[in-house]
Structure 1
Amino acid sequence: MQPALEYHRLANRRQFLNSAGLGIGGLALSSLLQSNVQGASEQQQVHPALPGLPHFAPRAKHLVYLHTNGAPSQLDLFDYKPGLHKYFDQELPDSVRNGQRITTMTSGQARFPVAPSRFNFKPCGKSGMMMSELVPYMQEIADDITMIKSVTTEAINHDPACTFVMTGSEIPGKPSLGSWLSYGLGSESNDLPAFVVFTPTFPAGSQAQALFTRMWSSGFLSSKYDGVALRGAGDPVLYIKNPPGVNSSDRRTMLDALNKLNEQTLQRFGDPETQTRISQYEMAFRMQSSVPDLVDLSGETKQTLEMYGPNVEKKGTFASSAILARRMIERGVRCVQVLHRGWDQHNNLPKLIKNQCMDVDQPTAALIKDLKQRGLLEDTLVVFGGEFGRTVYSQGTLTKENYGRDHHPRNFCMWMAGGGVKAGLTYGETDDFSYNVVENPVHLNDLNATILHCMGIDDRRLSFKFQGLDQRLTGVEPPKVVIDILT
């Protein structure tokens, strides 16, 4: 029986009311197991895919999603607009803006002066992809990525926009992309969760938006599909070590006894979250041995560590998260999500975005190179981008050396690499002001449908009945898989 049907068979009014207020979804070690693995052999897959999935041969088996929270400026990174310099400090033409809504942060401005990027661009690689001097290391992987310049969304503020990026809806309560993948495809690893999240630190002085757990939450799916957030300081997971006087054998005996009690509770009340609790405790036990090995970088070569940059051995940094993402993929984790904050540059953009790029540029490029040289990139899809773009007009004071940019949902840049996407391709185009898409628009639902497609999933066939609807990551209206960027 499929888990969705099993859940509805077991859940009753009492369980519904209980889970609404006192559910156990906040357990830190949410694992992603489908069945009770007590006494299971090491060869048994403890978290298999749903029956019938993948729907077709996948191009990618794993996903690494690098989310630049706060929205990086496409104009200063990837969307080269040299003609803007002749419009410096001139009013943005009404014909370009065309009455489109703007945020309250600039709605009171008397003027909307055009602010060309102060950074130099150059063609990179054999493809000639244009990239900014802010990302010299990403310039080296231009021939490995597909740059999408025409991504678009409806959300204009961070919270709903980030929720939309990760869950396909501006309304909280929906499952995240990683949760959908772990629900549908399971995990190749018996000792690590299917969905792992990193929230690395960011440069001091950056303008950072908050990160909400809904970005890796399982929403209305069982809480066992939550992303497991590994900590950047101290132990990666709380209580990963046994207390003094308790060894692994003692812990196994205690867990077996606890599992028997939970099995009795499951038989008595039929609450499916009790099964989740059993699975969580089992995964916690397994992680006591798997996580310390995962975060131990002593086996990495000096060359590999240097490739990720000077912060790679500093816990909680983006560089550390990037190399751990690769190690997760090696161990069979289905989805790794790295969320880097501080990209909300309404003022002092040139200085702040430079600091942000110095933090992520080298490790991001190193991740692609590392996956590629180990033969992992061909079945790992890597996604890089934020929740929306930035305006061509300046927010606040404008000089040739300093400017800020407001939120802009009409178009922004994201790139993809690895499993299933073409290498060295630039897709989509914007107008001369990077304000409107003029060629090949890619809505975020289209992007998510394309990600699912690369993972072997038909987005129309991966659904979950909730509140009387067949809920999907990609919403009600059928999206468009961006076939042109696929191999």
Structure 2
Amino acid sequence: MEKDFLEHGLNFNRRRFLSKLSLGLGSVALGSLLIPDLFTGGMDESSLPPGIPDFAPKAKRVIYLFQNGAPSQLESFDYKPKLREMMGQELPASIRAGQRLTGMTANQASFPLVGSYYDFKQYGDSRAWVSDLFPYTAKVVDDICIIKSMHTEAINHDPALTFFQTGAQQGNRPSMGAWLSYGLGSENKNLPAFTVLLSRGKGNGQGVYSKLWTNGFLDSTHQGVQFSSGEDPVLYLKDPEGLNRFERRKMLDNLAQLNEISYKEFGDPEISAKVQQYEMAYRMQTAVPEITDLSKEPDDIIKLYGPDCLVPGTFAANCLLARKLSENGVRFVQLYHQGWDQHGNLPSEMAGQAKDVDQASAALITDLKQRGLLDETLVIWGGEFGRTNYSQGKMTKDNYGRDHHPRCFSIWMAGGGVKPGIVYGESDEFGYNVISNPVHVHDFQATVLHQLGLNHEKLTFKHLGRRYRLTDVSGKVVKDILI
């Protein structure tokens, strides 16, 4: 009886100790990399990563510039002069063909076509059409691959955004960055394999949530680590007041011993994962401050990205930080730039959004290229769906809005073994339906994994009796855009 009581007390104190500690250190390194040579003994095979690529990768890392809210393809990369010719006329019923609309326009009395307020021109050897809103992107058009035939089933922001990031509309699935962390680990044991950067534009914003960079049912070591624009890029990374680095090291060693005892008793792999997070936080104390310090960048780099790159939390600053993180071995850097939801006042709002991102996006391509890193870094730019060819609500030539449109939209990719200077896929003359080389979200995801040397059908994890994967039960690699 007395022995049982003492053991109960020890367990209670340990739980309380770990609970209190998790308020600080525990939240630091959520999403850090898996260290292959630690704490793998006795764990179920399904919880272990494949460890090495399935075949030789073309890319080592990904920088994903996600434009949250869905930028209009008709004001960016999909030139449709027909819409100007038929300005104000009704969308032909044969084009829509009864396809699903959102509740915001399903009951409109009419669907007046509206052409882009902005002009398009052809650029580069590829002669790709680019809107006047993106003059800097136009200069690097021969380094990127524009895909104009993306499509998805999701018609509202949250499920569409979640679908792109996790391969499912419902959430609670591992994000793409988590899958890459699970499948490949990290190139730098002092930094997370998966990091997240947020910026806010001037337009109508859609929220982003931690479920978008979640580890889902994978070990918590694979969750994305969010960097903030405040004084502390990663919260709680500094040693607590009154605790020096030597004492922190001693505490972590003692904690590891306690967790080893607990792991042997309960066999919970999350115990080992938590120890890895503590260790990652300890190592990040040295690596993160140096990488997040942008003040030492040379003048030519500041000029390349623009003055906003010295303002923490801006898209430009995050692009420059993404280059530094990627350069230092972070496997997957996810940027979210909010403010692309233009249901009204699109010409002026989208101009502001484009100005926020255009120079820095192009600068990232140029910067990586001149450092010899573009070939091994896959850069992606795009949102969760497109925009309708008809106006939402009242329309004038100078002022209109566009509703959500999942049937056809544009993104671009660069580097990482993707063919530069090509345009892939095509929409009809109304910019409503894909008419050649359709690319589904799962096709896109399969292609990204493929470029990192992973077979999307083999990168699986058994959960609740079923083997899950990022691409669910579909998806094919878009080989025509690959070198």
TM-score past 0.5 threshold: yes
| Alignment counterpart, residue 369 of structure 1, candidates 366, 369, 383 | 366
Aligned counterparts of 1:350 and 1:55: Cα–Cα separation in 2? 46
* Partner residue, 1:303: 300
Match of residue 117 from structure 1: 116
* Matched residue, 2:245: 248
Is contact 1:25–1:223 with CA below 8 Å preserved after alignment? no
| Cα-to-partner distance string for 1:343-385 (whole Å, 9 max, x where unaligned) | 0100000111111111111111111100000000000001110
1:440 alignment partner in structure 2: 437
- Equivalent pair of 2:445/2:471 in contact (CA under 8 Å): yes
Quote the offset at 1:85 in angstroms. 1.2
Task: Kindly state the Cα deviation for residue 466 of structure 1 after the two structures are TM-superposed.
Answer: 1.4
Residue 35 of structure 2 contacts residue 189 of structure 2 at CA under 8 Å; is this kept in 1? no
Corresponding residue SS for 1:447: helix
Q: Output the amino acid matched with 2:190.
A: D
Post-superposition Cα deviations, 1:21-79, rounded to whole Å, max 9, x if no partner, equal x9x998342122235769xxxxxxxxxx9446200000001001111011000000000
Contact 1:153 1:443 in 2 (8 A): yes
1:272-311 correspondence to structure 2 within 5 Å: 272-311=269-308
2:331: which partner in 1? 334
Whole-angstrom distance in 1 between the partners of 2:451 and 2:389: 33
Residue number in structure 1 paired with 2:179: 180
Paired position in structure 1 for 2:35: 34
For 2:147 and 2:37, how far apart are their aligned partners in 1?
43
Q: Residues 445-460 of structure 1 correspond to what in structure 2 (within 5 A)?
A: 445-460=442-457
Looking at structure 2, the residues matched to 239 and 447 of structure 1 have their Cα atoms a distance apart, in angstroms, of: 36
Q: Say which SS state the counterpart of residue 311 (structure 1) adopts.
A: helix
SS in 1 for 2:388: strand
Following superposition, the deviation at residue 246 of structure 1 comes to 3.0
CA distance in 2, matches of 1:241, 1:159: 34
* Kept after mapping to 1: 8 A contact 2:34/2:182: no
The structural deviation recorded for 1:397 is: 1.2
Q: Is the 8 A contact 1:71 1:387 kept in 2?
A: yes
Separation in 2, partners of 1:236, 1:72: 28
Written as runs of structure 1 = structure 2, the 5 A alignment for 1:67-82 is 67-82=66-81
Stretches of structure 2 lacking an aligned partner (at least 5 in a row): 1-21, 40-47
When residues 387 and 84 of structure 1 are mapped into structure 2, their CA distance, relative to the original with a 3 A threshold, is same
Partner of 2:480: 484
Distance 2:29 2:260 in 1: 19
CA deviations 1:195-221 (Å, max 9, x no partner) are: 000011322xx2111102111111111
How far 1:288 sits from its partner (Å)? 0.7
CA contact (8 A) 2:63 2:333 kept: yes
Matched with 2:59 is 60
Query: 2:260 matched to which residue of 1?
Result: 263
Query: Counterpart amino acid of 1:456?
Result: G
Distance across 1 between alignment mates of 2:135 and 2:393: 29
Residue identity in the other structure for 1:481: V
- Partner of 1:6 in structure 2? none
**Which whole-Å deviations, capped at 9, do the CAs of 1:83-107 have from their partners, x for residues lacking one?**
2211000100001101101000011
Amino acid at match of 1:149: K
Q: Deviations over 1:391-441 (max 9, x none)?
A: 000001100000000000001001100011000000000001100000100
Aligned counterparts of 1:246 and 1:315: Cα–Cα separation in 2? 29
Aligned counterpart in structure 1 of residue 383 of structure 2, from 376, 383, 386? 386
Number of the residue aligned with 2:14: none
Farther-moved stretch of structure 1 (375-384 vs 238-247): 238-247
Indicate the residue corresponding to 2:205 in structure 1. Answer: 208
> What is aligned with 1:101?
100
Between the aligned partners of 1:464 and 1:241, the Cα distance in structure 2 is: 34
Q: Which amino acid aligns with 2:102?
A: T
* Contact 1:464 1:472 (C-alpha < 8 Å) held by counterparts: yes
Q: CA deviation at 1:222?
A: 1.0
CA 1:460–1:37: 2 relative to 1, 3 Å: closer
Q: Find out whether 1:346 has 2:343 as its counterpart.
A: yes
- Structure 1 letter corresponding to 2:414: A
Q: Which consecutive unaligned segments of at least 5 residues does structure 1 have? A: 1-21, 39-48
Counterpart amino acid of residue 485 in structure 1: I
Residue 274 to residue 36, structure 1, CA distance change in 2 (3 Å): farther
The CA distance in 2 between the partners of 1:57 and 1:289, in whole Å, is 32
1:160-208: CA deviation from partner (whole Å, max 9, x where unpaired): 00010011111211111100000000000010000000011322xx211
Instruction: Measure the CA separation in 2 of the matches of 1:486 and 1:164.
Output: 23
**Residue 467 of structure 1, CA deviation:** 2.2
CA gap 1:25/1:472 in 2 versus in 1, 3 angstroms: farther
CA shift, 1:240, in A, is 2.0
Tell whether the 8 Å contact from 1:37 to 1:282 is kept in structure 2 after alignment: no
Which residue does 2:221 correspond to in 1?
224
Do 2:28 and 2:281's aligned partners in 1 also have CA atoms closer than 8 Å? no
RMSD in angstroms over aligned alpha carbons?
1.8
Take 1:149 and 1:290, find their aligned partners in 2: how far apart are those partners? 39
Equivalent residue of 2:308, what SS?
A: coil
1:261-317: CA deviation from partner (whole Å, max 9, x where unpaired): 222222222111111110000000011111100111233111001111111111111
Number of aligned residue pairs: give it. 453
CA distance in 2, matches of 1:148, 1:112: 26
Q: Does 144-153 or 258-267 show the bigger shift?
A: 258-267
